[in-house]
Homo-oligomer: A and B are copies of this chain.
Amino acid sequence: MATKILNAAMLGLTPENMSSHEHLPSELDASLLNTSTVIALCVFFALLCACIVIGHLLEENRWANESITALLLGLCAGVVVLLIRKGESSHLMKFSEDLFFLYLLPPIIFNAGFQVKKKRFFKNFTTILLFGIFGTVISFCIISLGVFWTFKKIGVRSLNIKDHLAIGAIMSATDSVCTLQVLSQDETPFLYSIVFGEGVVNDATSIVLFNSVQTLDFDNIDGFTALKLIGTFLYLFFTSTALGLAAGLLSAFIIKTLYFGRHSTDREFALMILMAYLPYLLAELLNLSGILTVFFCGIVMSHYTWHNVTESSRITTKHAFATISFIAETFIFLYVGMDALDIDKWRESKASAGTSAAISSTLFALVLVGRAAFIFPLANILNCFQKIESSKIHFKQQFIIWWAGLMRGAVTIALSYNQFASSVKSPESALMITSTIIVVLFSTIVCGSVTKPLIEAVLLRHRKPMVSDLDDNVSLEELRVLLLESGDPNNSNNNQPARRASSLRLLISHPTTTVHYFWRKFDDKFMRPVFGGRGFVPFVPSSPTGAADDSSSA
């Protein structure tokens, strides 16, 4: 069905067809718009429709998913455009960093924060931070060094040290978008939270590293530089998080205070969208990491704000945020697919197919090694600190974490364009961009389609009860039992110091569970009364606008 519209839209692309309307009276030119924009939008929206329909039809197919469908459909559309324009240019829209970072990425990351299982996420917070920060730095170093050593042997000589380091940062940015599609939050919650959480922190780390490389003065490097870098990162991490938390709490407070008793679904939803987007812009304006900000804003909004609105607002926000994020994701893959055939770049690079393949495979190999170099060692170090056998990350799980994080996506492409397209164009810069595109396409298509079957084969088929995947809901209950047990001997003469000692003992033996328990107590006592949240706001069945529901008969 949708291909019909698609064809109609594509027809508009040919100059021949444009002039075929000439027989209509000239007064027909009722359009005030820029035709090329309309054509580009038309094609993109038609392709998006096609992606959704095809993705739905392939839902039962475990190898395919919407990302890969979009990527392939984008490639096909690129070929068609290339043929229609007779090899002149393949893309309707140039890859724009503004479009990507301002409009497409924020809804995806916000929705991830909004829908993430918060308990699970914070339980694995140490692991996520370790992988996301240290891991990315390790990967960055290995890829940079690898590029430095190997590229000269292949014959790429004009890149300087800044370019090498930039490639390290560019190739360290994993793709959190496709990960969301191949990992299931319900089937493998532990892996999902680790890989996805790492992806968010990793994106932020990569972007900070990338920017540091660009602004660093390589003539005066000393020990102080590294220290300054660490300070910068910590500053960015904490201020960005704080901004996100503050914006989320502000939205909860406004809706709880102002809208009490006079709910309007449309206003509530509008306010939530705007207040979700605003901190991202503010963070970018203050040169913080917008990704981290919007992610934590999403978490706070789902914990407080979401419970302060009407039932219909809850349903609307939940699905609307998910849908916007889904459209943005599909759009990105379509975009990357269409941009892959950027014929100008391929011509500019002047590289033989052999060189191009050598560079791309070297980069992908470095990505593989760079990721392996931190996942396995760091996971084993973490295992040493875990006393409970079931909380350890098993080798099979490590393998899946390694594999699922290999995908490179739109962040990589955006950074690559930023580094190599804006500077004075040399054939080797163009070669870097085309190689990046090849790595992104290859990793997304191969890793993306293999991950689901791989998880089934490795983890789910011969499934042993891995408790780290199962013990999610019992932990709080467990803790209460532990608290009772440890308090049991002194139960009759329950004095204060003994209790405090037992709390401390628990904090050491079950750190995350204990922190969660005390957070809940703090949340119930101080936070929820002010900011609302589950059970702290009277239930509002539906908004007044909902009353018009059954009056729409024709």
Q: Spell out A's residues near B (CB within 8 Å).
A: 1-2, 4-5, 8-9, 12, 21, 24-35, 37-39, 41-42, 45-46, 48-49, 52-53, 55-57, 59, 97-98, 101-102, 115, 117-119, 122, 186, 207-208, 211-212, 215-216, 228-229, 231-232, 235-236, 247, 250, 253-254, 258-259, 262, 264-267, 269-271, 273-275, 277-278, 281-282, 284-289, 302-303, 306, 312-313, 315-316, 318-320, 322-323, 326-327, 414-415, 418, 520, 523, 534, 543, 545-546, 548-549, 551-554
Complex-state Cα separation, A266 to B523, whole angstroms: 32
Report chain B residues within 8 Å CB of A545: 319, 322
User: With a CB–CB cut-off of 8 A, which chain B residues contact A275?
Assistant: 49
A sample of 11 inter-chain contacts (CB < 8 A) reads: A2-B254, A25-B228, A27-B212, A30-B208, A33-B284, A34-B98, A37-B102, A41-B281, A46-B278, A48-B274, A49-B271
Interface hub of A319, A414, A545 (most chain B Cβ within 10 A): A319
B269 & A215 in contact (Cβ 8 Å cutoff) = no
Q: Inside 8 A of A39's CB, which chain B residues have their CB?
A: 285
Chain B hits for A235, CB < 8 A? 28
How far does the alpha carbon of A208 sit from the alpha carbon of B27 in the complex, in Å?
Answer: 8
Take A289-B30, A322-B266 as given contacts and tell me if A5 and B282 are in contact as well, using a CB distance cutoff of 8 Å: yes
Known: A25-B231, A273-B327. A288 touches B52 (CB 8 A): no
Q: Is the CB of B26 within 8 A of A215?
A: yes
Tell me what chain A mostly uses at the interface: helix, strand, loop, or mixed.
helix
Among B236, B266, B281, the residue within 8 A (CB) of A42 is B281
Cβ of A53: which chain B residues have Cβ within 8 Å of it? 254, 258, 271
- Enumerate chain B residues within 8 angstroms of A259, measured Cβ to Cβ: 56
B contact residues around A286 at 8 Å (CB): 12, 21
Given contacts A119-B553, A228-B27, A319-B269, contact A282 B8 (CB under 8 A): yes
A25–B186 Cα distance when bound, in Å, is: 43
A412 vs chain B, min Cβ distance (A)? 13
A211 touches B27 (CB 8 A): yes
Q: Which of B253, B258, B287 contacts A21 (CB 8 A)?
A: B287
A318 to B27, CA, bound (A): 37
In the complex, how many angstroms separate the beta carbon of A207 from the nearest chain B beta carbon? 6
- Cβ–Cβ contact B327 & A320, under 8 A: no
Residues of chain B contacted by A186 (CB below 8 angstroms)? 548
Measured between beta carbons, the chain B residues less than 8 angstroms from A229 are 27
Cβ B207 vs Cβ A30 within 8 A: yes
Inter-chain contact B313/A266, CB cutoff 8 Å: no
- Whose C-beta in chain B lies nearest to the C-beta of A185? B548
CB distance from A485 to the nearest CB of B (A): 24
Judging by beta carbons under 8 Å apart, are B281 and A323 in contact? no
Nearest CB in chain B: distance from A290 CB, A: 8
Cα-based distance from A326 to B545 in the complex (angstroms) = 14
What's the Cα separation between A319 and B118 when bound, in Å?
27
Q: Are B554 and A303 in contact (CB under 8 A)?
A: yes
Residues of B within 8 A of A320 (CB): 269, 316, 319-320, 323
> Contact: B319 with A265, CB < 8 Å?
yes
